[in-house]
Amino acid sequence: MTDTITMFDTTPTHTQTAVVEFFDPPMCCPTGLCGPTLDQSLLDVSDMILTLETEGLKVERYQMTSHPQAFLSNPAVMRLVREQQMAALPITVVRGQVVKVSAYPTLAEIKSFLNGATA
């Protein structure tokens, strides 16, 4: 018998892209929660990300130094960075649309954007 039987299809049928993306300002570590004093807004963002992921959403977080390609591949983000420089960060993108610039959104704001509200 020379016929090959494929037991599992190893080709993914789809690639899940991030639903919520945070383009962070430069920080000492990926979450910003590593210094001697904690920034409450960064703690809130970390909690929000855990909540969104628990609800089954894909969330990504990028820093320019460690994920430059994420910045470069998003024209809207790069336009804001070119125009406003570091003052534009953080930038929040929901389903490919910039929804907040220069500050982190609240969980309620993210949920509103996920439900169709526009920035």
Pull the structure tokens for residue 61: 């977080």
65 found inside a domain: yes
pLDDT digits (tens, 9 = 90+) for 5-38: 544 443 333 344 679 999 998 876 655 556 666 6
Residue 56 confidence (pLDDT): 93
pTM summary value: 0.78
> Which residue range forms the structural domain that includes residue 79?
20-27+37-114
29/52 Cα distance (integer angstroms): 21
Who's near 59: CB < 8 A, 6+ residues apart?
A: 18, 19, 20, 21, 22, 49, 52, 53
CATH number at residue 108: 3.40.30.10
51 found inside a domain: yes
110 found inside a domain: yes
63 found inside a domain: yes
How many domains are there within the chain? 1
pLDDT digits (tens, 9 = 90+) for 44-100: 999 999 999 999 999 999 998 889 999 999 999 999 999 999 999 999 999 999 999
6 found inside a domain: no
7 found inside a domain: no
119 found inside a domain: no
Residue that has been written with the tokens 């509103």 in this structure:
112
Counting Cα atoms < 13 Å in the Cβ hemisphere of 52 gives 27
